[in-house]
Amino acid sequence: MNFDVVIIGGGIAGLTCGIALQEKGKRCAIINNGQAAMEFASGSFDLLGKLPSGQIVQEFCKAFPQLQAQAPEHPYSLLGAEQVLAKAQQFEQLAISLNLGLVGSVLANHKRVTPLGGLRETWLSPNSVPTIKYNEAFAFDNIAILGIEGYHDFQPHMLAENLKQNPEFKHCQIHTDFLKIPELDYLREHSREFRSVNIAQLLEHKLSFRSLVKEIKQAAGSAKAVFLPACFGLDDQEFFEILKNATGLALFELPTLPPSLLGIRQRKQLRNRFEQLGGIMMNGDRAIKAEFEDSRVTEIYTQTHEEMAISAKNFVLASGSFFSNGLIAEFDRIYEPVFGVDILNCKMFDKNDRLSWTAQRFATPQPYQSAGVSINKQYQVSKEGTFLTNLYAIGSVIGGYNGIELGCGSGVAVVTALTVAELIGGEL
């Protein structure tokens, strides 16, 4: 099998890169070994939430010089502010074309409400999620937070108590209640199946819609805004929008404990676009080894195609970090399992000193989260000190930054994906 580009990893980085390459006329295949991290994420996209110093970021442009000084190995620092902003804006246009329903802009972060009642800086959020601009109060002063009876992955009381601690909600009256939704009785009896995905699947096929609308309106009482767990609408936001119009209320949804319906919807929409453009998804497969010639990758093998080589002009490593086994940690080493490429040393993480991998306090950012592969400014990957000319890395497999601590994981994913697509497309 021969392609123009083979992408290892079917998460947000791999799919974004694949879409951009297919639009440029490249023939691409994505090797996708299962669920991606975005199916466990909030549905929001973070460009940069704070600096390594701990300073909160409101405007990326103003914060970038400090980021570059404090984290010179960060993927953004390698690109420069102009390229980061250009690719972030390109993704905003892609999101519009895919009808992802995102709000936000690279010009300034906004705050989104978290499922625990906190506020987190972010770049883009689903328009169904409650968000607040800086120096503004929440738009409604009477809120009902409604859980689902027996569903423990969303806790209205805790959310309400924490929400009241934020100045943006000081003016709000907040009450909580639970929806009964009799159609969910089967899942209540089988608690292991009582998850957001199962709820959404059942409600789409076995639901008295009028009864649900009536129950939400009764539970909301005098409230004009209602916060619900993201359990309504499996494939897209259409069901939630119909429900919102039928109740006449300002309905908002919040991600629950994983799996996240908001992330699942987005991944489905990205995957659909990639396949509509002619891209090949090799689902349920895993890349296991590669062959090299001089400073090039010539072919790879997968679990499904152990005897049949998959060749390409270019390869893109979008396999993610430890969560998706894009990186493997053993007692005395951290390594990338497919190509055996170099792991980056940086001031936050020393691959040769195991004692440097973790911090003493469990709740503090852990240095090993900055582990990843070594790249140059063209995002080509290094192996034994030599940069491979046709192997690129994108997303969280790259070393030199902690995407969780800095609130930039999804931003790095889409910015690096679109940058590499442009490089392979020959426009840089």
pLDDT reported for residue 345: 85
Percent of the chain with pLDDT over 70: 99
Say which residues have a Cβ less than 8 Å from residue 153's Cβ, sequence separation at least 6: 195, 196, 229, 256, 257
How many angstroms separate the CA atoms of 80 and 377, rounded?
Answer: 10
pLDDT tens profile 49-71: 999 999 999 999 999 999 999 99
Determine contact, residues 334/366, Cβ cutoff 8 Å: no
What's the one-letter identity of residue 26? K
Query: Model confidence over 145-165: pLDDT tens digits?
Result: 999 999 999 999 999 999 999
Side-chain half-sphere CA neighbours of 180 within 13 A? 7
**pLDDT value of position 342:** 96
Q: What is the pLDDT of residue 338?
A: 96
**pLDDT tens figures, 251-273:** 999 999 888 899 999 999 999 99
42 CB burial (10 A radius; 0-12, 13-18, 19+): buried
Alpha-carbon distance of 80 to 83, in angstroms, equals: 6
- Integer Cα distance of 155 and 256 in angstroms: 9
What is the predicted pLDDT for the residue at 236? 86
Report the pLDDT value the prediction gives residue 234, as an integer from 0 to 100: 85
Average pLDDT over every residue of 296-302: 96
The sign of the torsion formed by the CA atoms of 135, 408, 103, 42 equals: negative
Each residue's pLDDT tens digit, 88-127: 999 999 999 999 999 999 999 999 999 999 999 999 999 9
Q: In what order do the strands lie in the sheet with 250-254?
A: 173-179, 142-148, 225-229, 250-254
Per-residue pLDDT at 427: 47
- At 200-215, the pLDDT tens digits run 988 877 778 899 999 9
pLDDT reported for residue 363: 76
Average pLDDT over every residue of 130-155: 95
Q: What is the 3-state secondary structure (H, E, C) of the chain?
A: CEEEEEEECCCHHHHHHHHHHHHCCCCEEEEECCCCHHHHCCCCECCCCECCCCCECCCHHHHHHHHHHHCCCCHHHHHCHHHHHHHHHHHHHHHHHCCCCEECECCECEEEECCCCCEEEECEEECCCCEECCCCCCCCCEEEEEEECCCCCCCHHHHHHHHCCCHHHCCCEEEEEEECCHHHHHHHHCHHHCCHHHHHHHHHHCCCHHHHHHHHHHHHCCCCEEEEECCCCCCCCHHHHHHHHHHCCEEEEECCCCCCHHHHHHHHHHHHHHHHCCCEEEECCCEEEEEEECCEEEEEEECCCCCCCEEEEEEEECCCCHHHCCCEECCCCEECCCCCCCECCECCECCCCHHHCCCCCCCCCCHHHHCCECECCCCEEEECCEEEEEEEECHHHECCCCHHHHCCHHHHHHHHHHHHHHHHHCCC
Average pLDDT of the residues of the chain: 93
- Of the pLDDT bands very low, low, confident and very high (cuts 50, 70, 90), residue 328 is very high
Q: Which of 7-16, 168-177, 236-245 has the lowest mean pLDDT?
A: 236-245
Each residue's pLDDT tens digit, 18-46: 999 999 999 999 999 877 777 888 899 99
Mean pLDDT of 374-398: 96
Q: What is the pLDDT of residue 202?
A: 87
Supply the pLDDT for residue 428.
43
Taking the model in full, what pTM does it have?
0.94
Taking the CA atoms of 177, 181, 182 and 186 in sequence, report the sign of the dihedral they define: negative
Model confidence pLDDT, tens digit, residues 338-359: 999 999 988 778 888 888 888 8
Q: Quick one: CA torsion of 21, 25, 31, 34, rounded to 10 degrees?
A: 70
Task: Compute the distance between CA of residue 279 and CA of residue 24 in angstroms, rounded to an integer.
Answer: 12
